[in-house]
Every structure is written in C-alpha cells, then in structure tokens.
Amino acid sequence: MITVIAIVIAIIIGLILQYQYQFPPLVSAVVAIFLGIFIGFIVFIIQVIVTKNKKK
C-alpha cells in the first residue's frame, strides 16, 4: 500500500514539474520514475531499520 502511495505522489510531482517548467511529457515521465524509485528506496531502508530494532 505504501508503494502505491509513493508512486502516485511521484507521478503528481512529475506532472506539477511538467506544467511549472513546461517540460515535455517524456521528461515528466522520467522524473516520476526516478522519484518513485527514490521514494521506494527510502521506504525499504526505513523498513529494514524498523525490522532490526524489533529483533533487539
């Protein structure tokens, strides 16, 4: 569920940047993909840290 929310947020940010800076749609798609990967990575790191703390 968190991943879906992260992807939706990344797409919305990509669209906002597209309209703000008049980027072509391809650029906004690439930005959305990279933001989705970045947010997913952050969520993964947080889950690893929480799992380590629960084991202690």
Q: Per residue of the chain (56 residues), what is the pLDDT tens digit?
A: 777 887 788 888 888 888 888 888 888 788 878 888 888 888 889 989 999 988 76
Q: State residue 8's pLDDT score.
A: 83
| Whole-number Å distance between alpha carbons of 48 and 43 | 9
Q: Which of 31, 33, 36 is nearest to 3 (CA)?
A: 36
Q: Which residues contact 35 (CB under 8 A, 6 or more apart)?
A: 9, 10, 13, 14
| Whole-number Å distance between alpha carbons of 42 and 3 | 11
Q: State residue 34's pLDDT score.
A: 87
Q: State residue 49's pLDDT score.
A: 93
